[in-house]
Amino acid sequence: MDGTQVSRPPVCWTVTDGKIGMVKQCVALAEAIGVRPVEKQISVGKPWRWLPVALWPDPIRTLGAKGDRLAPPWPDLLIATGRLTVAPALAVKRHSGGRCFCVQLQNPGGARAHFDLVIAPRHDRLRGDNVLNTLGALHGVTKAVLDGAAARFAESVAHLPRPLVAVLLGGPNSAYRFGRRTARQLCEDLARMAGEFGAGLLITPSRRTPTEVVEVLRARLGGVAAIFWDGSGENPYHGYLGLCDAVVVTEDSVNMVTEASGTGKPIHVASLEGGSAKFARFHEAMREAGICRRFSGALETWHYEPPNDTARAAAEVRQRMRLATV
């Protein structure tokens, strides 16, 4: 033996409350860093989930039994997102003697200074020495992912006319409403686009898409050349993004819009009822970057370079971890 030490990859946890959009962001960052994370999905019981995290007596002991436990051996790297993960993540850092490098995605509120790195989109308006701003959400939509999924779904969409348009449906949230009236308007715009441009539609609802919206689209787009994913079998989301020539996506999801931007293809954003200042800032930034345009029933073509936020965030984590060990 020559005494040379072989460094091992860092042990990484991702900590979320289990919401799929949050899980995907944390895992995407971990994989971009080059590690396979241990996914921790926590549950916070009453009354703690309703109270400010500063009032939690012991963040790890207050975790509910339905979620994963946070217990030693502690990880080298922890990536978390969501309000309910802030106190448990910092508790892991304390219990590790400060050795765990702690990353929080999105704004952790007043606890920001206690994290080694906070990665937050620009529309959160967060600044600081330990803050890295991104255009949107982190994601794992890469060329390799798209190409692999496209190959699996190519035969199933071969009968549709070109251009192909992936239609990504979200759902109501704290900022937006998505009901029958909005669904009817979206159908009119999609049918007009399909008719005028000879487009085939690849339609995929999300878990948040209301049943009534799905019913309206199925009924009103019956005469359009389209595939409507019914939730069975493999999710075609990445396949449709890889195969399409353009995207139509509802404006309620930063994740979906940002993931679509990983394709480098034109993104038409369909309006919903409602909105918020934060969403408005995000959509304005995406339009200014030349990535998105408002959807009005027309199919437009333009080009842009896909943002590299996930790779940039991964490089920042690796660099700061190296400096922390010097």
The pLDDT of residue 7:
67
Q: How far is CA 86 from the centre of its chain?
A: 19
End-to-end CA distance of the chain: 25
Grouping H, G, I as helix, E, B as strand and the rest as coil, residue 173 is coil
Q: In the chain, how long is the greatest CA-to-CA distance?
A: 72
Position 163 pLDDT exceeds 60: yes
pLDDT in tens, 10-26: 999 999 999 999 999 99
Which domains are delineated in the chain? Answer: 12-135+310-325 (3.40.50), 143-294 (3.40.50.2000)
Report CA Rg, the chain: 21
pLDDT in tens, 46-105: 787 787 777 777 888 888 889 999 999 999 999 999 989 999 999 999 999 999 999 999
The pLDDT of residue 2:
43
Tell me if 119 sits within 8 A of 105, measured CB to CB: yes
Q: Please give the average per-residue pLDDT across 130-155, as a whole number.
A: 96
pLDDT in tens, 264-280: 999 999 999 999 999 99
- State residue 298 phi and psi, 5-degree precision: -100, 155
pLDDT in tens, 177-228: 999 999 999 999 999 999 999 999 999 999 999 999 999 999 999 999 999 9
User: Distance between CA atoms of 322 and 324, rounded to whole angstroms?
Assistant: 5
Position 316 pLDDT exceeds 90: yes
The pLDDT of residue 45:
78
- Amino acid identity, position 217: L
Q: What percent of the chain has pLDDT over 90?
A: 87
User: Distance between CA atoms of 137 and 85, rounded to whole angstroms?
Assistant: 17
Position 5 pLDDT exceeds 90: no
**Tokens standing for 217?**
């689209």
Q: Between the CA of residue 123 and those of 92, 126, 136, 290, what are the distances in Å? A: 28, 8, 8, 17
How many CA atoms does the CB half-sphere of 217 hold within 13 Å? 27
